[in-house]
C-alpha cells in the first residue's frame, strides 16, 4: 500500500505525516518521542507490538509510545518483584531454615521425628559453596555429630507449608517442566530445585560417564549416551512427567568437552529431605524411620518436645543479583510467594500479586492493566505497562536500597544477561552505562532500567511483544537508547 504523506513546515522544522504507518507525526530532529517513533517505523514495528517510556532525571516523562498499553514483560517482571520486596520486606530481610525434633537428644538418640521447615530460602545450593550443592548439609550433619547425635528413631519430615502447594505454576508450559528455568516452587529449595548434570566422553564405542549433583535417593538415573568417534552431539536428557526418573541417551563425540546441563526435579521438598537424609547417613547418623511430608508439622511443634537442631539464615541482599543479573526464575517466584506470605498472610502467587498491586498504588503509580501471573515473567499471562516500569524505576532512586538494586542489574557489555550486548557497533558507545533488566520469551523482547550519563540516570522501559521486521529487537532497542543518550547530552539537567 502506498503511504500517504503530507509535508508542512512548523517553526522552520519539517514534519512528515505518515497516515498509513499508524505511528503519527514524524519530527526530524524534534522531540525524543518523535525520534523514537521514527526508529520504530523505520524498523517496520507493529504499533500494537511495542511500548516505550522514558523518564528523565527529574521524574518527567519525556517520551511515551503506547506506554499505557499492558504488555507481556517477560523477565522485566522481576523488576516489579524485587522492588516491591525491597520496599515491603527490606534489604536485610532474611529467609530462615530450621530443623527441629519432636524429642530430646538423649544418649546420642532422638526418639522421635525430625522436622525440616523453611520460609523459602532459595540460596541453599552450590552457587555459594564452591559448586557443591550439599555442602551446607554436610556442615549441619557434622555439627550434629559433634553435638553427640548418632541415631534418629523417627521420621525425617518435610514441612513445606509456608507456601501453598502449587509448585508448577499455571501459565507455564508443561513441555519445559524439566528445564532449569521452569523449576518447581517450594518453601524447601535445594540447588535451585535442579540436578546438576555433567556428561564426560570416554572411548569411542563406550558409554559416556554421567555425573550428577547432588546425589539423592529421590532421583533415579537411567542410561547413558554413547561416546562416538566423531559427528555432532545428539545427547538427550529427559525427566518423565511426575517422576524423578532421568534418562540419558544419544551420542557424544570423544573429542568434545564435557557437556553440562541442569534438570529441574519433581517435588522439591521431598528432594530436599531425601538428600539431607542421605548426607546424615553418610556422616554416621542412623535414621530408622521414613522420609515423608507433613504440612503444618512445624507450626504444631513445641520447644518442650525437643530442641532446635539447626537454624540457618540467608538474606535478600545476597539473592538480588541472582534474580536480576542471573535472571534466575525460581528465586523470583520464591520472593513473590514470600511477599504474599508476609504481607497478605498467604504464600501464593495471587497473594504476592495483591502485595505488588498495593505497593504500586502506594508509590502513586496506577496499577490499571497490571496482571501478576508469576514473579519471574515466565508466564505469558503477565501484563504491565512500560509507563509503570519506567516510573517505578525512577521512584526507586529515592529509597535506601537503591544502590543494592542498581548493583543487581546487568551492566551493558560487562556482566549478567547484558554481558554480550553493547560491545560492538554503534551500541558500544553505551557500554558500562546501561543498567537494565533483560527479558525474553518467545516473541517477547524487553529491556528496562537506567541509562547513565555524567552521573545522571534516566529511567526507561521498552517492551516488544513481536519479532520479525527489518531489525532484531535488540538492535532497535540499541538505537532507541542511543537517541535517549543524545537527548541527555542536549539536556544537561538543572544547573548546580
What phi and psi, each to the nearest 5 degrees, are found at residue 333? Answer: -70, -40
Which pLDDT value is given to residue 494? 64
The answer, yes or no, to whether residue 334 has pLDDT greater than 60, is yes
pLDDT at site 24 = 54
pLDDT of 5 > 80? The answer is no
Interval 66-87: pLDDT, tens: 999 999 999 999 999 999 999 9
Report the interhelical angle of 329-344 vs 316-324 (nearest 10°): 130
Residues 6+ apart with CB under 8 A from 65: 33, 36, 37, 40, 50, 51, 52, 53
pLDDT by residue (tens digit) across 119-137? 999 999 999 999 999 999 9
pLDDT in tens, 88-111: 999 999 999 999 999 999 999 999
Per the listing, cell 526418573 goes with: 245
Q: Please report which confidence band the pLDDT of residue 29 belongs to, taking 50, 70 and 90 as the band edges.
A: very low
Cα–Cα distance between 48 and 384 in angstroms, integer? 14
Domain parsing of the chain, residue ranges: 5-90+318-490, 94-316
Q: Which residues pair with 118 in a beta bridge?
A: 97
Task: Tell whether the model's pLDDT for residue 23 goes beyond 90.
Answer: no
CB contact set of 311 (below 8 Å; sequence gap of 6+): 96, 97, 98
- CA 478 to centroid of chain Cα atoms: 23
Question: pLDDT at position 4, please?
Answer: 31
Beta-bridge partners for 461? 53, 448
CA distances for 462 relative to 44, 76, 233, 382, 450, angstroms: 16, 10, 37, 15, 11
Closest CA to 225 of 245, 206, 208, 246: 208
CATH class name, domain 94-316: alpha beta
Q: Report how far residue 237's alpha carbon sits from residue 330's, in angstroms, rounded to the nearest whole number.
A: 21
How high is the pLDDT of residue 14? 34
To the nearest 10 degrees (0 to 180), the angle between helices 32-42 and 473-490 is: 160
Average pLDDT, the chain: 93
Beta bridge partners of 159: 117
Domain covering 5-90+318-490 in this structure, CATH number = 3.40.710.10
Amino acid at each position: 500500500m502506498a503511504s500517504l504523506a503530507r509535508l508542512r513546515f512548523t517553526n522552520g522544522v519539517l514534519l512528515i505525516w505518515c497516515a498509513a504507518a499508524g505511528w503519527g507525526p514524524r519530527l526530524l530532529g524534534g522531540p525524543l518521542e518523535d525520534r523514537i517513533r521514527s526508529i520504530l517505523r523505520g524498523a517496520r514495528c507493529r504499533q500494537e507490538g511495542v511500548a516505550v517510556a522514558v523518564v528523565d532525571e527529574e521524574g518527567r516523562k519525556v517520551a511515551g509510545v503506547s506506554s499505557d498499553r499492558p504488555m507481556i514483560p517477560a523477565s522485566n517482571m522481576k523488576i516489579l518483584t524485587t522492588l516491591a520486596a525491597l520496599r515491603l520486606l527490606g534489604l536485610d530481610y532474611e529467609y530462615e531454615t530450621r530443623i527441629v525434633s519432636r524429642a530430646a537428644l538423649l544418649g546420642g538418640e532422638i526418639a522421635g521425628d525430625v522436622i525440616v521447615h523453611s520460609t523459602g530460602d532459595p540460596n541453599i545450593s552450590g552457587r555459594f559453596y564452591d559448586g557443591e550443592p550439599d555442602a551446607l548439609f554436610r556442615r549441619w550433619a557434622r555439627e550434629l555429630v559433634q553435638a553427640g547425635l548418632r541415631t534418629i528413631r523417627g521420621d525425617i519430615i518435610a514441612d513445606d507449608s509456608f507456601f501453598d502447594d502449587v509448585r508448577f505454576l499455571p501459565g507455564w508450559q508443561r513441555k519445559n517442566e524439566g528445564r532449569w528455568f521452569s523449576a518447581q516452587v517450594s518453601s524447601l529449595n535445594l540447588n535451585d530445585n535442579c540436578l546438576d548434570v555433567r556428561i564426560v566422553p570416554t572411548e569411542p564405542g563406550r558409554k559416556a560417564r554421567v555425573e550428577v549433583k547432588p546425589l539423592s535417593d529421590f532421583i533415579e538415573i537411567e542410561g547413558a549416551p554413547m561416546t562416538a568417534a566423531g559427528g555432532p552431539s545428539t545427547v538427550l536428557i529427559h525427566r518423565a512427567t511426575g517422576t524423578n526418573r532421568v534418562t540419558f541417551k544419544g551420542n557424544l563425540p570423544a573429542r568434545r568437552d564435557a557437556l553440562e546441563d541442569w534438570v529441574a526435579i519433581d517435588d522439591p521438598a521431598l528432594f530436599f529431605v531425601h538428600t539431607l537424609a542421605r548426607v546424615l547417613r553418610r556422616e554416621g547418623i542412623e535414621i530408622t524411620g521414613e522420609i515423608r511430608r507433613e504440612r503444618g508439622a512445624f507450626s504444631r511443634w513445641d520447644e518442650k518436645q525437643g530442641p532446635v537442631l539447626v537454624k540457618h539464615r540467608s538474606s535478600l541482599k545476597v539473592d538480588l543479583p541472582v534474580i536480576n543479573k542471573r535472571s534466575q526464575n525460581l528465586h523470583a517466584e520464591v520472593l513473590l510467594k514470600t511477599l504474599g506470605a508476609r504481607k497478605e498472610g498467604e504464600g501464593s502467587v495471587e497473594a504476592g500479586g495483591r502485595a505488588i498491586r498495593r505497593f504500586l498504588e502506594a508509590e502513586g503509580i496506577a496499577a490499571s492493566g497490571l496482571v501478576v501471573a508469576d514473579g519471574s515473567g515466565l508466564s505469558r499471562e503477565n501484563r504491565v505497562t512500560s509507563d509503570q516500569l519506567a516510573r517505578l524505576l525512577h521512584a526507586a532512586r529515592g529509597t535506601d536500597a537503591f544502590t543494592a538494586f542498581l548493583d543487581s542489574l546487568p551492566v551493558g557489555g560487562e556482566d549478567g544477561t547484558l554481558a554480550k550486548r553493547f560491545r560492538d557497533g554503534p551500541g558500544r558507545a553505551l557500554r558500562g552505562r546501561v543498567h537494565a533488566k533483560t527479558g525474553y520469551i518467545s516473541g517477547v523482547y524487553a529491556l528496562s532500567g537506567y541509562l547513565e550519563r555524567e552521573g545522571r540516570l534516566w529511567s526507561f522501559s521498552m517492551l516488544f511483544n513481536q519479532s520479525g521486521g527489518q531489525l532484531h529487537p535488540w538492535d532497535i532497542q540499541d538505537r532507541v537508547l542511543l537517541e535517549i543518550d543524545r537527548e541527555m547530552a542536549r539536556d544537561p539537567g538543572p544547573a548546580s
